[in-house]
Amino acid sequence: MDRFRNLGFVGFTVVVVAIASYLACSEEIAGTVRVALLGVGPTLAVGIVGAYLLHREELLIPLVTFRPGDFTRGFLAALGIFATAFAATHFFMPLTSSRASWLLRVYLQIGDPKILKDHVPAVVVAMALAAIAEELVFRGVVPALLEGMLGSRRAWIYSAVLFAAAQLPTAIALRTGAGWNPLLPAAALGAGLVWGYMTRRWGRLWPAIISHALVDWCVIMMFRLYGPSF
């Protein structure tokens, strides 16, 4: 029965996040606070339930324990992810290419950086909650449930794939004249593998949470992938 329950919760999680991601990327709400509410709220709610499940199995406390060096690990991982994303952007989506519209569409959805900088405290809270919720769910809860069902040490890889699958509807919602937009699913898969490995390697979520939050802050508030954010 536990296996069916766990499988059901994993499936429910992916469906909820997929629907929320699609709605958060709707053009009608681009640049509004509803993008953040839809992007963070449902995942956070699932994460709270998932945290309870982990607590029942006595798995939560080790995952959320902070250790010296976690910030450094998160910072270095964020630096590597940003450098890779920056290089990939300029190689595969130069401004002269129609594919550049994919990234521009994503930034249109997020909103004007000047407006975001006028509300820095709210942005910090939203990014922190998003990083905590997504890492708790897809690097904590889902791998633990999958490992319990499959008995596999590769559960973190399967979880990264599911994380990317939950972002697939955004390819439709963020489509442009260049076609369906693959950026968020691709980013979720690449970064999800890095953060999943980090969590598996050190047995804690904080390195991945810190890395996730720093990457989001950098590409949204500091240095958007086509240049500095002003």
pLDDT of residue 7: 86
pLDDT of residue 1: 45
Q: What is the pTM of this model?
A: 0.94
Q: How far apart are CA 210 and CA 8, in angstroms?
A: 29
Segment 200-205 long-range contacts (CB within 8 Å, at least 24 positions apart): 200/143, 200/153, 200/156, 202/67, 202/70, 202/73, 203/62, 203/63, 204/62, 204/63, 204/64, 204/65, 204/66, 204/67, 204/70, 205/63, 205/64, 205/135, 205/136, 205/139, 205/140
What pLDDT does residue 228 have? Answer: 61
- Parse the chain into domains and list their residue ranges: 2-228
How far apart are alpha carbons 147 and 219 in whole angstroms? 33
* 3-state secondary structure (DSSP) of residue 125: helix
Per-residue pLDDT for the chain (230 aa), expressed as one digit of tens each? 477 788 889 999 999 999 999 999 999 999 999 999 999 999 999 999 999 989 988 889 999 999 999 999 999 999 999 999 999 998 888 888 899 999 999 999 999 888 999 999 999 999 999 999 999 999 999 999 998 777 778 899 999 999 999 999 999 999 999 999 999 999 999 999 999 999 999 999 999 999 999 999 999 998 888 766 55
Q: Would you state the pLDDT for residue 227? A: 64
